[in-house]
């Protein structure tokens, strides 16, 4: 591994796959720990007699914490850079998970969720920056490899919950501290590479921060991308937070069967994320955004009315298509505002978490009052807002 590090440090223009894969793997570890929170909702609901509003508040606390801090972290690191904040982020997530394993009251669950959110807020902007620095110009590929690690972690969370935490109890969450320690050491190595990269490039001219379009058009395009991200993540939050309850209530499946259904969706989302980046490098991020946001509409409209088999099929198709957009959205936004990698990553990763959390809280209120089936009928119309993609501008060739 040392020889790979040296090569990557000497020639930053080459794609440093060892570094990208390292941050992607840690993204997986980070999101495995984070996804355990939502995967354990049925267990927490039973252990603490929670209603759907409280379930929504847990998601809201976790995601809003990340949302509030990520843009601030991005602004700070764009200016000064904090390479060793990455292992610190892993420790914060680990602390929240251990607290979650030993909570004896709902408010302690909220504190644990907020610590996990802080870890997310620190991790995502800087790790996204490292992926871009190591990309060698293949930004879509690097962003996809980074993102697919997170999606894989989110997909593995329900499986680990179904086969480890649910059989052995809530206290078994503490076992995952080993995962955090592993991530801590890998991210310490990544941080060392990051420091070497900065030292080698410190005498180079500053990157060109000139906007590719008039400022008003850039702000308009960013607003559209933010709205698309919000729509996508509220819809995805409805699945990640309530899909298990929907499948159990509508089809009478067991908790483990429902977790496996959630795994199918999250696994397809990981595959879609991976495919979106290379396609965006070849055909343009704008094309991927068009295909993803508009292509998912008919499948989302059918999902609430499908039987068990077609619910599984449609959830896979939706995850595959819808998730391909996110890395393209981030790359497109970074090209709109060059030189602000941390800020863009903070805004979009943070906004993704925050709006998904607020959406989950509101959906929890509807689920308590109108039922889970109504929530999925309501959410099926959200992707229609993707029609706004027709307003995205074309970027001039650089």
Is 205 inside any structural domain? no
Is 232 inside any structural domain? yes
Average pLDDT over residues 122-133: 85
Gap between the Cα atoms of 177 and 90, Å rounded: 10
pLDDT tens readout for residues 145-188: 888 787 778 778 777 877 887 788 778 888 888 888 899 999 99
Distinct helix (H) and strand (E) counts, the chain = 17, 0
pLDDT over threshold 50, residue 12: no
| Alpha carbon distances (Å) from 162 to 169, 204, 244, 257, 396 | 11, 51, 12, 9, 49
Task: Work out the pLDDT band at 299, boundaries 50, 70, 90.
Answer: very high
pLDDT over threshold 60, residue 236: yes
Is 377 inside any structural domain? yes
Task: Work out the pLDDT band at 241, boundaries 50, 70, 90.
Answer: confident
Could you tell me the CATH number of the domain that includes residue 282? 1.20.1250.20
Gap between the Cα atoms of 300 and 317, Å rounded: 9
Is 62 inside any structural domain? yes
Task: Work out the pLDDT band at 7, boundaries 50, 70, 90.
Answer: very low
Using CB atoms within 10 A of its CB, is residue 109 exposed (0-12), middle (13-18) or buried (19+)?
buried
Is 359 inside any structural domain? yes
Quote the DSSP letter at residue 323: T
| Alpha carbon distances (Å) from 191 to 51, 84, 195, 238 | 42, 5, 6, 35
pLDDT tens readout for residues 255-271: 778 878 888 887 788 78
Task: Work out the pLDDT band at 11, boundaries 50, 70, 90.
Answer: very low
Gap between the Cα atoms of 22 and 1, Å rounded: 11
Task: Work out the pLDDT band at 10, boundaries 50, 70, 90.
Answer: very low
pLDDT over threshold 80, residue 345: no
Average pLDDT over residues 48-74: 80
Q: Which of 235, 149, 213 is nearest to 186 (CA)?
A: 149
Is 35 inside any structural domain? yes
pLDDT tens readout for residues 386-396: 888 888 888 77
Is 7 inside any structural domain? no
| Alpha carbon distances (Å) from 333 to 81, 362, 392 | 20, 28, 11
| pLDDT for the residue numbered 205 | 59
Average pLDDT over residues 4-30: 71
Gap between the Cα atoms of 357 and 355, Å rounded: 5
| pLDDT for the residue numbered 361 | 72
Is 99 inside any structural domain? yes
pLDDT tens readout for residues 194-229: 888 878 766 665 566 677 788 888 888 888 888 888
For the chain, the domain total comes to: 1
Q: Which domain holds residue 145?
A: 16-200+212-391
Gap between the Cα atoms of 114 and 126, Å rounded: 19
pLDDT tens readout for residues 356-369: 667 777 887 888 88
């Amino acid at each position: 591994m040392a020889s790979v590090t040296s090569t990557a440090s000497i020639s930053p223009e080459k794609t440093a796959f060892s570094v990208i894969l390292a941050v992607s793997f840690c993204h997986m570890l980070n999101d495995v720990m984070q996804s355990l929170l939502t995967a354990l909702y049925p267990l927490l609901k039973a252990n603490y007699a929670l209603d759907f509003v409280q379930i929504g508040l847990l998601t809201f606390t976790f995601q809003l914490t990340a949302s509030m801090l990520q843009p601030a972290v991005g602004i700070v690191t764009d200016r000064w850079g904090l390479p060793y904040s990455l292992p610190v982020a892993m420790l914060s997530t680990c602390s929240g998970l251990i607290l979650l394993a030993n909570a004896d009251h709902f408010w302690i669950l909220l504190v644990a969720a907020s610590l996990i959110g802080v870890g997310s807020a620190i991790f995502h902007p800087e790790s996204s920056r490292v992926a871009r620095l190591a990309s060698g110009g293949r930004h879509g590929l690097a962003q996809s490899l980074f993102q697919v690690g997170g999606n894989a972690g989110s997909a593995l969370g329900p499986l680990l919950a179904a086969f480890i935490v649910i059989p052995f109890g809530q206290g078994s969450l503490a076992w995952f501290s080993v995962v955090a320690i592993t991530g801590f050491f890998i991210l310490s190595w990544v941080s060392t590479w990051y420091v070497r990269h900065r030292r080698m490039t410190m005498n180079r001219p500053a990157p060109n921060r000139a906007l590719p379009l008039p400022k008003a058009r850039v702000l308009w395009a960013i607003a559209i991308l933010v709205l698309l991200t919000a729509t996508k993540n509220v819809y995805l939050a409805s699945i990640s937070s309530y899909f298990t309850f929907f499948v159990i209530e509508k089809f009478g499946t067991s908790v483990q069967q429902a977790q496996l259904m959630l795994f199918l969706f999250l696994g397809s989302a990981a595959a879609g994320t991976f495919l979106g980046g290379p396609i965006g490098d070849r055909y343009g991020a704008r094309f991927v955004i068009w295909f993803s946001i508009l292509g998912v509409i008919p499948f989302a409209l059918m999902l609430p009315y499908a039987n068990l088999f077609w619910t599984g099929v449609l959830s896979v198709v939706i995850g595959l298509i819808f998730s391909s957009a996110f890395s393209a959205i981030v790359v497109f936004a970074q090209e709109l505002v060059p030189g602000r990698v941390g800020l863009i990553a903070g805004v979009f990763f943070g906004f993704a978490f925050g709006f998904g959390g607020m959406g989950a809280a509101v959906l929890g209120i509807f689920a308590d009052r109108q039922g889970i089936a109504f929530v999925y009928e309501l959410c099926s119309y959200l992707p229609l807002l993707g029609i706004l993609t027709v307003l995205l501008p074309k970027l001039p060739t650089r």
